[in-house]
Structure 1
Amino acid sequence: MHVLSLPTWFIHILTLFEWLLAIFFINQISKQSNKKALKWLAMAMLPNLASAMAAITWHIYDNPSSLYGLVYIQALLTFIGNICLALAAWNLVKTEKQLI
């Protein structure tokens, strides 16, 4: 396998920071608006963040076959994270409809 190009690294690292900022801001909005559904949304984003960290860790070490388990961990975290995000979004819609 080949080392990632500089633009690809740039995208990977910025995506991590973007995800962290999104979690932080959603959590802050949750505190200010006192909406627990938003806090659940921020928490539901964490498995996908961990998934991205697993992928980047594997790339940092130049994708060795000895760390191939990280690929499976990353896939599992993505699967779990997507389910968590779907449930959190559903919960957010449900709570917002109750306010109307």
Structure 2
Amino acid sequence: MASLRLVAALAPSPRPPPPTPRREPRRPPSAVRLTSGVALAAAAAAVAAAASPPALAALSEPANALSLPTWAVHVSSVAEWVTAMWLVWDYGERTGIKGWKGLSWGMVPLLGGAMCACTWHFFYNSESLEVLVALQGALTVIGNMTMCIAAYRIFKASQESSKTS
């Protein structure tokens, strides 16, 4: 019996199976990560506001202060606009059609208008910052025109490419 143990101990052991190649996990696209991050931040802000200590609740704000849900809409709208700008730019990169990048540039004035609105609201619609309201209106008009021009250029490029095909 002892000799069998000795033979078993000296016998070569079977080789372990070769390791399987490890695949890297697929990461979601950047836009999905950005959107999920914005949603997570909004949810965290809502939880923090609901669980705020009584000392914070005692702070008074002016009557024209925006509520937390209204701020969530403002911030998420800006985040969505930035995401849309990035997606339009990325589409232009992938397709090689420069008009889509132009559309992304045409969206910039509207982003500036949104920033003006958020800044004005952040300071409780202060009369000393009324210029931001006028600037927001001007940027909205300019942004609508630049996006219209960019969309027309995309249309013309698609018409030309369909004629050559």
Q: Distance in 2 between matches of 1:95 and 1:17?
A: 29
Q: Please report the RMSD computed on the Cα atoms of aligned residues, expressed in angstroms.
A: 0.9
Whichever of the two has the greater Rg, that structure is 2
TM-score, scaled relative to structure 1? 0.96
How much does 1:8 deviate?
Answer: 1.2
Q: Report how many residues are paired.
A: 100
List 4+ stretches of structure 1 deviating above 3 A. Answer: none
Name the structure 2 match of 1:85.
147
Q: Which moved more, 1:3-12 or 1:53-62?
A: 3-12
Name the structure 2 match of 1:99.
161
Instruction: Identify the match of residue 101 of structure 2 among 39, 48, 57.
Output: 39
State the identity as a percent.
Answer: 36
Instruction: Identify the match of residue 29 of structure 1 among 88, 91, 107.
Output: 91
Q: Distance in 1 between matches of 2:109 and 2:85?
A: 11
User: How big is each residue's C-alpha offset from its partner over 1:20-64, in whole Å with a ceiling of 9 and x where there is no partner?
Assistant: 001111111111111100000000000000000000000001100
The letter for the 2-side match of 1:95 is A
Structure number with greater CO (CA < 8 Å, separation at least 6) is 1
Name the structure 1 match of 2:112.
50
Q: Distance in 2 between matches of 1:97 and 1:11?
A: 38
1:71 maps onto 2:138 in alignment: no
Higher helix share: 1
| Structure 1 unaligned blocks of 5 or more | none
TM-score, scaled relative to structure 2? 0.59
The letter for the 1-side match of 2:119 is T
Q: Distance in 2 between matches of 1:74 and 1:28?
A: 27
| Structure 2 unaligned blocks of 5 or more | 1-62
